[in-house]
A and B are shown apart, each in its own frame.
Chain A
Amino acid sequence: KAGVTQTPRYLIKTRGQQVTLSCSPISGHRSVSWYQQTPGQGLQFLFEYFSETQRNKGNFPGRFSGRQFSNSRSEMNVSTLELGDSALYLCASSLEDAGGVSDGYTFGSGTRLTVV
């Protein structure tokens, strides 16, 4: 079966611009989570969507937003980019029902964002 697909793989943006990243989960997976990975901060939770509803949100400023569509595909948007937003952004999907956590994430390959 197809894995989690993230596009684009690489992105270079200028400070002040905005960016939209896309994630297509594994077919049938209703939960999509986003993480930011940096060498200094490790893996930081951004938000999670389940059946088009944001179920939980991490401690990121309002410049970071996301959404999930009816086909479970998800997008995240970062507005007014800052140099510190340079990171690997990982999307992960899981099969879990609401409240169930027994299956692990399947991660995409990530989007490497560089802000210059």
Chain B
Amino acid sequence: AQKITQTQPGMFVQEKEAVTLDCTYDTSDPSYGLFWYKQPSSGEMIFLIYQGSYDQQNATEGRYSLNFQKARKSANLVISASQLGDSAMYFCAMRGYNTNAGKSTFGDGTTLTVKP
């Protein structure tokens, strides 16, 4: 079984500051992928970043980076230099390669509000 836990229902950050959104996971799959998605108030889900379980380096995509700590089963999203447009709900998700192939499990999400 797969489980994603996001313990922060809501977060506030000042514009231009960095923010970390927490995500821990549990899975029986020996290899898997971890993802972060953004859902603005418009409703459409946007893929942000991917981390493979065997990747040695943390993933980065522009202002987004994923702090992957495999032993702790955590995959935190770091947003640097926050912008007002970053205000949205953020979902952590995982997908297994083998037994859970094709199925993604999502966390409950964290609502991020960027203050001017």
Please list the residues of chain A having a beta carbon within 8 angstroms of any beta carbon in chain B.
31, 33, 35, 42-43, 45, 48, 50, 55-56, 58, 88, 90, 92, 98-110
Are A109 and B97 also in contact (CB < 8 A) when A31-B102, A45-B104 are?
A: no
Please list the residues of chain B having a beta carbon within 8 angstroms of any beta carbon in chain A.
32-33, 35, 37, 43-50, 52, 91, 93, 95-98, 100-109
Which applies to chain B's interface (DSSP): helix, strand, loop or mixed? strand
Are A56 and B47 also in contact (CB < 8 A) when A43-B106, A45-B105, A101-B33 are?
A: no
- B35–A104 contact, CB under 8 A? yes
- B101–A104 contact, CB under 8 A? no
Give the chain A neighbours of B43 by CB distance below 8 A.
88, 109-110
Give the chain B neighbours of A108 by CB distance below 8 A.
44
Q: Which of A55, A88, A92, A106 sits near B101, CB closer than 8 Å?
A: A55
State in angstroms the CA–CA spacing of A33 and B93 once bound together. 14
State in angstroms the CA–CA spacing of A55 and B101 once bound together. 7
- B45–A56 contact, CB under 8 A? no
- B44–A33 contact, CB under 8 A? no
Are A92 and B103 also in contact (CB < 8 A) when A101-B97, A104-B35 are?
A: no
State in angstroms the CA–CA spacing of A109 and B44 once bound together. 5
B111 to chain A, nearest CB (A): 12
State in angstroms the CA–CA spacing of A64 and B39 once bound together. 25
